Amino acid sequence: MLDLKQIRQNPQTIQELLDRRGAGQYDLNPILELNRRQRELETSRTQLQARSNEIGKLIGQKIKAGSTPNSPEIQALREDGNQVKSTLSELEPQEKELKAELETLLLTLPNLPSESTPMGKNEEENVEIHRWGDEYLPQNDQILPHWQIGEQLGILNFERAVKVAQSRFVTLMGAGAALERALISFMLNQQTTAGYVEVIPPMLINTQSLTGTGQLPKFAEESFKCESDDLWLAPTAEVPLVNLYRDEILEASQLPINHCAYTPCFRREAGSYGRDTRGLIRLHQFNKVELVKIVHPNTSEEEHQKLLKNAEGILEGLKLPYRTIELCTGDLGFSASKTYDLEVWLPSSRKYREISSCSNCLDFQARRSNIRFKEAGKKGTQFVHTLNGSGLAVGRTMAAILENYQQPDGTVRIPEVLQPYLGREVL
């Protein structure tokens, strides 16, 4: 959530930054008007409350000085006081309603792009900043798509998944299930060695949690909800990991907090309109190892670079060619101020495809989730900064292995780092 005080004091600057995401998409004027009205009501209420207190005090003083409770003077003061209380009873719900409207509008505003985020309208204007692993690009020109080689090997079954659920689900069989488990273990081992504390969070999460990290209200249609409860299936472990600390005041000495978690993730993929209907790229249910950092604002940028390196380290350990992209202002996620995407090479389509997004949300999620910290010897509190990144999306990593390690004879080599987990060298 953006700082309302900052919006009020610097509306032109904030509007210009929002326009970098897309001119005309966001309008601060309704928020400024609601805030003006709410502040006027607050001033009137405060003045009336002071007048009510003054009348009560005056009545007490006059009775103490000898006036009788039924005297005309006291009766007049009481009538005045009752009128003030009646007006207050009308103002308070009006003010409460304005505050609720104001908060609803604030929740629809995305985070402000970082000053260092490149300007651009869409993904076509993202900036490549790093490429790795050209020496590992496969030389085989007859590489099958991952879903085809996976079905031939008997490790991916989409038809039976449709029977059990519907389209955009997969069943992993035999060595496919083992490969998924090996990837999860490898990723978690790498990240816990790097200093992340592993967490197994709840997979059903409440509305407040999704609102806190920015998935609600904007992405409600992309989430699965349990209609009988105030619970949703987690779209990413970022949500429960951040919300573990909602409404808390941490000590500065506790920061940074680094968590990693393997979880299934659930997304409707609303609006994908037939994209990636085959294979493991865009499923309703997929596994992911997530990285979350809760940090001091002074170290936010440094911690972002560390998180990026932690995610890149998985691809480099697996020897999968990838590139690092800095997202432009028009392609930023709702809660992000600055984002790097990692894109892995998929040779069957001769394209790099996203496998991780590493974002710095600054204090945007912390304001929505009310996560603060205090420093020893200093008054007051500050909002923490939150960062998140996939380390990595497991299904997309499997897809990359099935294609990049595919052999002309139809077998698939296992990356060296995974061989101890699987006890084999070839699928």
The catalytic site residues sit at 267, 282, 354, 357, 396
Contact 403, 143 (CB under 8 A): yes
How far, CA to CA in Å, does 102 sit from each of 15, 112, 153, 289?
17, 18, 56, 36
> CA–CA distance from 397 to each of 241, 285, 317, 419 (Å)?
22, 15, 12, 15
**Spatial separation of the C-alpha atoms in residues 330 and 414, rounded to whole Å:** 38
Question: By the 8 A CB rule, do 102 and 35 touch?
Answer: yes
Quick check: 160 and 171 in contact, CB under 8 A? Answer: yes
**Cis omega before residue 420 (within 30°)?**
no
Phi and psi torsions of 81, nearest 5°? -65, -40
Q: Side chain identity at 309, as an amino acid letter?
A: K
Q: In whole angstroms, what is the distance from residue 327 CA to residue 117 CA?
A: 7
How far is the C-alpha of 361 from the C-alpha of 111, rounded, in Å?
A: 7
State residue 68 phi and psi, 5-degree precision: -85, 150
Helix or strand run (H / E) with residue 394: helix 394-404
| CA dihedral (328, 333, 336, 341) positive or negative | negative
How many CB atoms are closer than 10 A to CB 328?
A: 22
Residue whose C-alpha is closest to residue 187's, from 425, 426, 410, 389? 389
Helix (H) / strand (E) containing 237: none
Q: Which residue has the tokens 């945007």?
A: 364
